[in-house]
Amino acid sequence: MPPQNEHAWKRGAIGSSAYYVIALAGTLAAVIIGVSGGRRLLAVAALALMAAWYLVAGRTSVRTDRVTARATWYLAGQIVLLMVAQAATPWSSFILFALCPQCFVLLPAWWATGAMAAFSLVPILRLVGSHPGLALAEAGIALAVIGFAATFGRWIMRIIEQSTERAELIEALAAARDDLARAEYDAGVLAERQRLAAEIHDTLAQGLTSILMLLQAADAAAAAEQSSTYLSQAARTARENLAEARGLITDQPPTALSGSPLHEALRRLTVRLAEETGVTADCEVTGDTRWLPSSIEVVMLRCAQEGLANVRKHAQAANVTLLLDYRLEAIRLCVSDDGVGFVPAPGSGLGLAGMSNRVAQAGGVLDVQSSPGGGTTLMVEIPT
């Protein structure tokens, strides 16, 4: 069975075999009934050879963008054999019902017109000597038929060419659609990978860093009571990180925001920082507190976590201030410390890059002000 997406004119490149058999059977019947003797035998033999030549060469000929040698030899053979049959009897011309469509399927329009003219040559020549008037009438009829066939055939071929162009365009569009789908899928995978990387960095990685620092502090503590405190804090941080990991798996909001507003979650972060590091950490809230969309609260929470984590790991600060300002049409977060500072630069770290992406996706702005020895101020503002 031919492929369903193959063009119809390619699936039946030389016409239906059944149609050819019917036309051939009708022609043979006309020859057998219409003539007798040696002429009938010659015509039947020529028609039989045409059928065999069709099976050998014609049935497997396929029209492409150029004329194939197989198609040319096939039609040339049919012309010669038809001339022999027509020389025996004009009844053999009935086979033209099958041959004419094949000309326009296998050849360009002008070539097909020439082949049809060759098919009509013998009947005209038979009448030239004995009936010149009939020969002239036969030539006129042949010219009219050839002209109509050429016009109609060119029109059909133009339709086929346009259909081919449209089929190629559809294939190109389908390929472009598949490429776009793959690109969108790859972009989605990359975006999800980046999102998970940011979440892991802001939760699990920071939590593991805190646990490691607390365990190191417990190991270095001189008093058993202080060591026990550090170990308790490490265990609490581990439990919280386990809850965060479960939240990531189930796509739940951060546990720090479960059942409490944003400003309370930030106060707990500053208290935790003070307990675990000994720095003086204050949380100030200004403006009318209110519930915000969860997407904005998550961004603010992650930025505060990252800012305080940087204070813990790098700042060597004695004082930290976290300011949350509820404005009329925006919310602003500032994390300031009096630590060693640094020189802000693009690509300063994964944490700052992740914050920048989060804030940009929320439609906000991120600003980092710092200098060596001058402390650091992190500011995030998002419209509400």
What pLDDT digit, counting tens, does each position of 349-383 carry? 667 877 888 888 889 999 999 888 889 999 999 99
Q: Which of 28-37, 51-60, 203-212 has the lowest mean pLDDT?
A: 203-212
CA pair distance 335, 283, nearest whole angstrom: 9
State if pTM tops 0.85: no
% of residues, the chain, pLDDT over 70: 84
Q: Which of 26-35, 234-243, 293-302, 342-351 has the lowest mean pLDDT?
A: 342-351
pLDDT at 14: 43
CA pair distance 234, 208, nearest whole angstrom: 9
Q: Residue 326 pairs with which residues in a beta bridge? A: 287, 331
Q: What is the dihedral of CA 370, 376, 380, 381, to 10 degrees?
A: -80
pLDDT at 378: 92
More confident residue, 192 or 359: 359
Q: For the chain, give every residue range classified as CATH 3.30.565.10.
A: 260-384
CA pair distance 102, 98, nearest whole angstrom: 7
Please give the single-letter amino acid code of residue 342.
F
The superfamily (CATH) of domain 260-384 is: Histidine kinase-like ATPase, C-terminal domain (3.30.565.10)
Mean pLDDT of 138-145: 71
Residues in the chain: 384
Write the Ramachandran bin of 323: left for phi over 0, alpha for psi from -120 to 50, otherwise beta.
beta
Q: Tell me the pLDDT tens digit for each residue of 310-328.
A: 888 888 889 999 999 999 8
Q: Tell me the pLDDT tens digit for each residue of 82-127.
A: 888 888 888 888 888 888 777 777 777 777 777 877 877 777 777 6
pLDDT at residue 286 tops 90 = yes
Nearest to 359 by CA among 294, 275, 320, 303: 303
pLDDT at residue 7 tops 60 = no
Edge to edge, what strands does the sheet with 330-337 contain?
Answer: 280-287, 319-326, 330-337, 376-383, 365-370
pLDDT at 282: 92
Band of pLDDT at residue 15, cut at 50, 70 and 90? very low
- 3-class secondary-structure state, position 317: coil
More confident residue, 81 or 252: 81
pLDDT at residue 154 tops 90 = no
Nearest to 262 by CA among 297, 295, 296: 297
Q: Give me the chain's average pLDDT, please.
A: 80
> Which two tokens mark 40?
């009938």
Q: Which residues 6+ apart lie within 8 Å of 324 measured at CB? A: 262, 263, 266, 283, 284, 285, 286, 300, 331, 332, 333
Q: Which residues 6+ apart lie within 8 Å of 354 measured at CB? A: 197, 198, 201, 202, 302, 306
